[in-house]
């Protein structure tokens, strides 16, 4: 049962292309801090003095990222985006931060999935519990407990990963409303939606990307993924954000 569930969501964790977000490699969480720009303390004082000062919020977000604190920069950039909702550059930056977080959580989910597969190795060797021999062997309480703990960890990591990709998806949806001709944003919206479990949005975004950039180097991969998504039983459903 545990293995079956892990493999059932294997497409979500392992089965999507390698892009997963433009610019993620440039801002992976925990990257080397930068000494350029204002300090976090100086920027924070400006925000404290005027919490709705867009320039101060932007400065604090940048300072936090330069200090290697990308996760802390996310809520600040969210606040900035509410003050300046039409700043497409800031929205793209925010979506990329969410994708960086999601990519980190994706790696954790992959490791947790592997632990599920390794937690009960005899399951592949023993007869099914519906057979007389399987019934005679009975339950394996220790192995089942270990497998159950591994499964719980995997479910938690998977849920966290999907939540982060869902947040990225929601931001990219705002980006493409501002600029429907932004092919890169459509592509990244598609990737985020796949990992968030919203195949209908992913299909729509990937189709729009191919219309806008049919000769892009990534177009063949997008076409391949579209075929997989369209063949999925959940292709016509949406998570609703």
pLDDT on residue 212? 97
In the predicted model, is pLDDT for residue 187 greater than 80? yes
- pLDDT tens digits, one per residue of 23-61: 333 333 444 455 567 899 999 999 999 999 999 999 999
Residues 6+ apart with CB under 8 A from 150: 2, 112, 115, 116, 118, 119
Average pLDDT taken over every residue of the chain: 79
| The pLDDT of residue 112 | 82
The more confidently predicted of residues 136 and 83 is 83
**Out of 74-83, 136-145, 169-178, 216-225, least confident range:** 136-145
Name every residue whose Cβ is closer than 8 Å to that of residue 162 and which is 6 or more positions away in sequence. 12, 195, 196, 197
pLDDT at 158 over 50: yes
Chain position carrying tokens 């101060």: 56
Q: Are 96 and 164 in contact (CB under 8 A)?
A: no
Domain ranges for the chain: 2-31+68-198
The stretch 135-146 carries a mean pLDDT of 51
């Amino acid at each position: 049962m545990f293995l079956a569930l892990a493999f059932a969501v294997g497409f979500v964790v392992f089965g999507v292309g390698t892009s997963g977000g433009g610019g993620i490699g440039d801002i992976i969480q925990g990257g080397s801090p930068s000494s350029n720009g204002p300090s976090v303390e100086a920027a924070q004082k400006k925000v404290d003095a005027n919490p709705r000062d867009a320039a101060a919020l932007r400065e604090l977000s940048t300072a936090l990222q330069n200090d290697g604190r990308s996760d802390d920069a996310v809520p600040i950039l969210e606040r900035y985006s509410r003050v300046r909702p039409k700043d497409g550059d800031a929205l793209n930056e925010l979506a990329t931060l969410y994708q960086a977080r999601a990519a980190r959580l994706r790696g954790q989910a992959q490791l947790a999935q592997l632990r599920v597969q390794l937690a009960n190795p005899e399951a592949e060797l023993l007869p099914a519990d519906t057979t007389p021999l399987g019934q005679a062997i009975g339950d394996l309480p220790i192995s089942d407990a270990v497998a159950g703990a591994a499964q719980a960890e995997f479910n938690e990591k998977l849920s966290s990963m999907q939540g982060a990709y869902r947040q990225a998806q929601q931001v990219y949806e705002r980006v493409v409303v501002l600029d429907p001709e932004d092919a890169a944003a459509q592509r990244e919206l598609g990737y985020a939606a796949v990992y968030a479990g919203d195949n209908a949005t992913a299909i729509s975004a990937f189709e729009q990307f191919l219309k806008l950039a049919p000769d892009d180097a990534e177009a063949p991969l997008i076409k391949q993924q579209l075929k997989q998504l369209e063949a999925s039983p959940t292709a016509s459903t949406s998570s609703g954000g």
